[in-house]
Chains A and B, each alone.
Chain A
Amino acid sequence: MLKNYFKIAIAVLKRRKFFTFISLFGISFTLTILMVLTAFMDDVINPTYPDLKRDRSLYIGHVELRNSKEGWMNRSSPSFYFLNHYAGSLKTPVNMTIFSTNTAASAYVNNKKVVLDMKYTDAAFWEVADFDFTEGKPYDKSQIDGSQPLTVITEKTKADYFGGEQNVVGKYIEADNIRYRVIGVVKNPSVTSNTYYASLYLPYTLSKFNYKNTDIMGGSNAVLLAKTPVDREKIRKEYAQLVTKIPTGSKEMDQLFSHADTYFGDKVRGLMGSGTETGQRRFLLMMSLAIGLFLLLPTINLVNINITRIMERSSEIGVRKAFGASSKTLVYQFIVENLILTLIGGLLGVLFSALALNFINQSDILEGLHLSLNFTILFYGFIACLVFGILSGVYPAWRMSKLAIVTALKAQ
Chain B
Amino acid sequence: MISLQNIKKVYRTDTVETIAINGISLDIAKGEFLSIMGPSGCGKSSLLNIMGLLDAPSSGQIVISGSQTNNLNDKSLAAFRNQKLGFIFQSYHLINDLQVIDNVELPLLYRNNISAKERRELATEALTKVGLSNRMKHLPTQLSGGQRQRVAIARAIVGRPEIILADEPTGNLDSAMGNEIMDILMNLNQQDGTTIVMVTHDEHMANKTHRLVRLFDGSQVQ
Contacts and interface: CB of A to CB of B under 8 A. Distances in A.
A315 B106 CA distance: 14
A69 interface: no
Interface in B183-214: none
B33 interface: no
Contact of A326 (B49, B79, B96, B97): B79
Interface in B55-110: 55, 74-75, 77-79, 81-83, 86-87, 89, 91, 93-98, 102, 105-107, 109-110
A404 interface: yes
A7 B102 contact: yes
Contacts of A412: 91, 93
Contacts of A405: 49, 54-55
Interface in A298-338: 315-316, 318-329
Nearest to B97: A11
B30 interface: no
B95 A319 contact: yes
A326 B83 contact: no
Max chain A Cβ within 10 angstroms of own Cβ: one of B55, B77, B106, B159: B106
B97 A12 contact: yes
Contacts of B109: 1, 4, 325
The DSSP consensus for interface residues of chain A is: helix
A325 B75 CA distance: 8
A344 interface: no
A406 interface: yes
A323 B94 CA distance: 12
A323 B110 contact: yes
Interface residues of A, number: 27
B52 interface: yes
Interface residues of B, number: 32
A321 B74 CA distance: 10
Contacts of A322: 52, 54, 81, 87
A115 to B, nearest CB: 64
Interface string A1-31: 1011001100110010000000000000000
A129 interface: no
Contacts of B55: 404-406
Contact of B107 (A4, A315, A316, A323): A323
Contacts of B54: 321-322, 405-406, 409
Interface of A: 1, 3-4, 7-8, 11-12, 15, 315-316, 318-329, 404-406, 409, 412
Interface of B: 49, 52, 54-55, 74-75, 77-79, 81-83, 86-87, 89, 91, 93-98, 102, 105-107, 109-111, 116, 155, 159
5 contacts: A1-B109, A322-B81, A323-B107, A324-B83, A327-B74
Given A326-B75, A406-B49, 17 more contacts: A4-B105, A4-B109, A7-B98, A8-B95, A15-B96, A319-B87, A319-B93, A319-B94, A319-B106, A322-B54, A322-B87, A323-B81, A323-B155, A323-B159, A324-B107, A325-B78, A406-B54
